């Protein structure tokens, strides 16, 4: 391994001892299973993803199985994971994989990037975890670990920068270790080097961490505000979508009106669901999931 990454061995040794057992990390996990997990895990905790992912894999074990269903079924079985456009993206991705790639998730990074709903992070993660590629995988947890351990900063910038990508690429080990390094740093950020309460006493690289060695200087960037939920358009959309998901056919407008009191916000949220392709309004004024 390159000497320029002294973090590698302690992080890999920690991961071998402490990694969570997750089904998408099992040796027999398919590229499709890994792709679905990566989309679901975006901005969503593992505990919420596990039961939904398990149901999806039982119901749709292959891209072709999901592609054969209407997109509304993907939305219906998205449950309460939030950000339900991801369900539509996964459905479109399944159809693209089925129609353009013979039902097999492509292995190369550039082709993965061409799939609906697959961005830089997801393409790198799938190429690394499903096909053992050598890519810099930069999610929020990885960015935070590298910001602290290498740059001496409590938090990374709000948006991923070219400097962060260059740093991550400079730390990549050889092809054999690169996929494990990617998931190990991610796990370290999720379990130990967390955003709110870094557990430095349990960290395998605390003796090398630039932020800790500098006395943990506080973050000096723009104020970091947590995302509220109660009373927001997101909550309203979720309530409306729950009604549509629970119905076995078109839903009268009155049933949607009943779940949210603020009429202006409710209409705005409903219009947004239709505009985003998450709901359809029929000629008789009823609503349903997309077909």
Q: What is the CATH number of the domain that holds 116?
A: 1.10.340.30
Number of domain units in the chain: 2
Query: Given 129, 158, 174, which residue is the final one in a domain?
Result: 129
- Give the pLDDT of residue 226: 62
Which CATH number covers residue 272? 1.10.10
- Beta strand 280-281 with 287-288 is antiparallel
DSSP 19-46: ----GGGSTT--HHHHHHHHHHTTTS-H
Query: Given 129, 149, 180, which residue is the final one in a domain?
Result: 129
- 62 within a domain of the structure (yes/no): yes
Neighbours of 274 (CB within 10 A): 13
Q: Are 216 and 255 in contact (CB under 8 A)?
A: no
- 123 within a domain of the structure (yes/no): yes
DSSP 57-125: HHH-SSHHHHHTS-HHHHHHTTTT-S-THHHHHHHHHHHHHHHHSTTS---SHHHHHTSTT--HHHHHH
- 124 within a domain of the structure (yes/no): yes
- 108 within a domain of the structure (yes/no): yes
- The tens-digit pLDDT sequence of the chain (291 residues) is 345 799 999 999 999 999 999 999 999 999 999 999 999 999 899 999 999 999 999 999 999 999 999 999 999 999 889 999 999 999 999 999 999 999 999 999 999 999 999 999 999 999 999 999 999 999 999 999 999 999 999 999 999 999 999 999 999 999 999 999 999 999 999 999 999 999 999 999 999 999 999 999 998 777 666 668 889 999 999 999 999 999 989 999 999 999 999 999 999 999 999 999 999 999 999 999 999
- 89 within a domain of the structure (yes/no): yes
- 258 within a domain of the structure (yes/no): yes
Choosing from 3, 13, 21, 38, which is the catalytic residue?
38
- Give the pLDDT of residue 221: 73
Q: 40 is in which domain, residue-wise?
A: 30-129
Query: Given 63, 98, 129, which residue is the final one in a domain?
Result: 129
- 10 within a domain of the structure (yes/no): no
- 193 within a domain of the structure (yes/no): no
Does residue 154 have an active-site annotation? Answer: no
């Amino acid at each position: 391994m390159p000497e320029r990454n002294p973090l590698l061995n302690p992080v890999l040794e920690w991961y071998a001892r402490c990694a969570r057992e997750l089904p998408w990390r099992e040796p027999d996990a398919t590229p499709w299973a890994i792709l679905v997990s990566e989309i679901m895990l975006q901005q969503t905790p593992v505990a919420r993803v596990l039961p939904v992912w398990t149901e999806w894999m039982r119901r749709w074990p292959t891209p072709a199985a999901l592609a054969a269903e209407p997109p509304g079924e993907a939305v219906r079985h998205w449950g309460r994971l939030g950000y339900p456009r991801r369900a539509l993206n996964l459905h479109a991705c399944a159809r693209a994989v089925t129609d353009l790639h013979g039902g097999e998730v492509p292995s190369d990074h550039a082709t993965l990037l061409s799939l609906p709903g697959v961005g830089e992070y997801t393409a790198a993660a799938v190429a690394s975890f499903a096909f053992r590629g050598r890519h810099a995988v930069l999610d929020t947890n990885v960015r935070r670990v590298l910001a602290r351990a290498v740059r001496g900063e409590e938090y990374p910038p709000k948006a991923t920068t070219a400097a962060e990508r260059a740093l991550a690429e400079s730390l990549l080990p050889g092809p054999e270790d690169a996929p494990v390094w990617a998931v190990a740093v991610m796990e370290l950020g999720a379990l130990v080097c967390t955003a709110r309460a870094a557990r430095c006493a349990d960290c395998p690289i605390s003796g090398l961490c630039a932020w800790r060695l500098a006395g943990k200087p506080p973050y000096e960037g723009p104020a970091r505000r947590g995302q509220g939920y109660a009373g927001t358009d997101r909550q309203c959309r979720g309530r409306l979508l729950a009604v549509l998901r629970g119905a076995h056919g078109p839903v009268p407008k009155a049933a949607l009106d009943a779940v949210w009191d603020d009429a202006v916000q409710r209409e705005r949220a409903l219009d947004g669901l239709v505009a985003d392709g998450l709901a359809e309004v029929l000629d008789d004024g009823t609503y349903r999931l997309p077909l």
